[in-house]
C-alpha cells in the first residue's frame, strides 16, 4: 500500500449503512483519522426506490432522513464507543450512495468504504458503491475487505 498524505486538518469520509463491511470500514477510517489527526466524516445516504414506477404509501410521521441519522449514530456508538477518540462529523444525505461519495471526493482527502453493503438486488441494478467510488472519485479511496 502506498502512503496516503492528508493535508493538515484533513478529512476522511467513510460511507456507512449498518452492514458488517461498513462497520469494518468505520473502524479502519477512525484509526486512520486518529493516526493522522484528520476529522472523520461519517456519511449515510437514504433513497426511496422508484424503479418500479409507483410511489408506496408511507405512514404518517415517516422520515427516512431521521431514520438514517438514528442508524448512523447507533453504528458510530457501537463501533467507536460513546466518546470517539477523533473528531466526528455526521452527514446524512438523500440520494445515491456512490454519487454522494463521488461528489464529496472533491472536498475530502480520503474516502473509505466497505467492499459490500446492503446492496443485494438493488446493487445488481445500480452497481457496486465501492466499484463506482473507486472508479470516479477525485481523491484516494480505500476499500476495506474482510
Is the residue at 57 inside a domain? Answer: no
Q: How many CB atoms lie within 10 A of CB 1?
A: 4
Number of structural domains (the chain) is: 1
What confidence tens digit (pLDDT) does each residue in 85-137 have? 999 999 999 999 999 999 999 999 999 999 875 454 444 444 588 899 999 99
Is the residue at 96 inside a domain? Answer: yes
Domain residue limits at 37? 11-47+63-144
| pLDDT score for 121 | 44
- Give the mean model confidence (pLDDT) for residues 3-13: 77
Is the residue at 54 inside a domain? Answer: no
DSSP for residue 112: E
| pLDDT score for 145 | 87
Is the residue at 34 inside a domain? Answer: yes
Is the residue at 52 inside a domain? Answer: no
| Range 135-139, long-range pairs (CB < 8 A, 24+ positions) | 136/98, 136/102, 136/105, 137/101, 137/102, 137/105, 137/111, 138/102, 138/105, 138/106, 139/105, 139/106, 139/108, 139/109, 139/110, 139/111
Q: Assign residue 99 the CATH number of its domain.
A: 3.40.50.620
Amino acid at each position: 500500500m502506498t502512503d496516503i498524505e492528508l493535508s493538515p486538518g484533513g478529512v476522511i469520509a467513510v460511507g456507512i449503512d449498518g452492514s458488517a463491511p461498513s462497520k469494518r470500514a468505520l473502524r479502519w477510517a477512525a484509526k486512520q483519522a486518529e493516526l493522522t489527526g484528520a476529522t472523520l466524516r461519517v456519511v449515510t445516504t437514504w433513497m426511496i426506490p422508484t424503479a418500479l414506477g409507483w410511489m408506496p404509501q408511507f405512514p404518517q410521521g415517516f422520515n427516512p432522513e431521521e431514520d438514517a441519522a438514528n442508524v448512523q449514530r447507533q453504528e458510530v456508538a457501537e463501533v467507536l464507543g460513546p466518546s470517539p477518540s477523533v473528531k466526528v462529523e455526521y452527514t446524512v444525505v438523500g440520494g445515491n450512495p456512490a454519487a454522494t461519495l463521488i461528489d464529496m471526493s472533491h472536498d475530502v482527502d480520503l474516502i473509505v468504504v466497505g467492499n459490500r453493503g446492503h446492496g443485494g438486488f438493488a446493487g445488481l441494478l445500480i452497481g457496486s458503491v465501492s466499484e463506482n467510488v473507486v472508479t470516479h472519485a477525485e481523491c484516494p479511496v480505500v476499500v476495506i475487505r474482510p
